[in-house]
Amino acid sequence: METITPVFKLPSKKTEQRESHISLYTIFLIFGVTSIMTGVIWDISWHMSIGRDSLFSPPHLAIYLGGLATGIGSIIKLLKITFSKKVEIRNSSVSFWGMKAPLGTLLCIWGAAAMLTSAPFDDWWHNTYGLDVKILSPPHALLFAGIISILTGTMLTVLSFQNQREQIHPMNNNLLRWGFAYTASLFLIAMYIFIIEHLGRTKMHNPLFYQLICSVLIMPVTATMRGSRLSYPATTITGFYTVILLIQLWMLPLIPAEPKLAPILNPIKHYVPLLFPLLLIIPGFILDKLYKRINNKNIFAQAVLCGSSFFASIFIAQWFFSYFLNSPISHNWIFQTHALPYYKDPSVPNRFEFTRYAGTTTQYYLGFMIALTYAIVFSYLGLKWGNWMRRVQR
């Protein structure tokens, strides 16, 4: 099994005495990313249910609140370390333009600045070019970059505290372990939302569906699986992902909403939720069981085995589950496949049929081989990233 040595000097007893301060900062960051991702999910549902948008809509305020919380908390952290007279505290940070702070803190500050900059930019974009027809308009791309930076910074911050504490109290570190799994699941949800437009239930027999999953979603799963110190990290991370998306799926339709933007083709009376979550918990569990057996192999063999098992399990799970999702049996409160945005006509025929593939038969099957290749390549990159995360201590 690969031996991983710490990159930085282990914290002393003085570092251990700062535990209460560290815990407060960590909680502050976790609150911020929770508010951000709640606002993002709410905002997408808002666009599908109400349509009308403004700079200070409730979902936007939740996103801004999370950005402000992480930004202000991180700036305070940076100033405390920069002007601290304790050499040990300053040496446990990285330098940037003469200032001192942990790497995660710097990423959170940059992300908060990008997020808050995107707000007036988005308002100007709407006033100039009208409504967005895609999730990733230029202002939303800047917002997304800021959110990913904050999520990554929060993950690294929790990781640094976790890895420091592992060297002192390895048996008394569960809170940080679970905190890292939770923030990693929010990162996974953010990446899922990035490609959600191509993950509809009618597209689950299309090679592009699996290419996107195996290139965008496998890397965060394998990386955080390797970086976490829980017994079943991939299962925990994908489990959090599933629970969070199920909560929005079941709670949002209980809230009244009325479309305010024409044309209204589907006069709904409540919020429309996001899609039923992908069955990522199945490959997550398989990866956990598999990795316990192969963690002594070289990283290339690990990537081939992890990538292949991820592709095979998600392919089998989603391929057959899609038949159920596209049948009338799934038109209920649990799966919400009958819920459509106000701008989609529910009377359109064949809207529950699988999307036809435009290419040749050879291209069709080659597309799945490409998805398998993506799974192996990005599994390798994820494992490399995870090895680095296990060494992060500042």
**H or E segment and range at residue 40:** helix 19-49
Q: 75, 282 in Cβ contact below 8 A?
A: no
**Higher per-residue pLDDT: 105 or 120:** 105
The 10s digit of each residue's pLDDT in 33-45 is 999 999 999 999 9
Instruction: Kindly state the percentage of the chain with pLDDT values over 90.
Output: 55
Confidence of residue 9 (pLDDT cuts 50, 70, 90): very low
Is 0.85 topped by the overall pTM?
Answer: yes
- How confident is the model at residue 21, as a pLDDT? 39
Q: Tell me, what's the pLDDT at 139?
A: 76
**Is the pLDDT assigned to residue 305 strictly greater than 70?**
yes
308-320 average pLDDT score: 97
- Work out the pLDDT band at 3, boundaries 50, 70, 90: very low
The residues, any chain, with a CB within 8 Å of residue 272's CB and separated by 6 or more, are: 45, 48, 49, 252, 253, 257, 339, 340, 341, 342
Mean pLDDT, to the nearest integer, of 256-275? Answer: 91
Give the whole-angstrom CA distance, residue 258 versus residue 264.
10
Q: Which amino acid is at 393?
A: Q
What does the longest C-alpha to C-alpha distance in the chain come to?
A: 70
Mean pLDDT computed over 153-167: 78
Query: Using CA atoms, how far apart are residues 139 and 118, in angstroms rounded to an integer?
Result: 5
Q: Tell me the Ramachandran region of residue 51: left when phi exceeds 0, alpha when psi lies from -120 to 50, beta otherwise.
A: left
pLDDT at 123 over 50: yes
Q: Between 175 and 19, whose confidence is greater?
A: 175
In which band, very low, low, confident or very high, does the pLDDT at 141 lie, cut at 50, 70 and 90?
A: confident
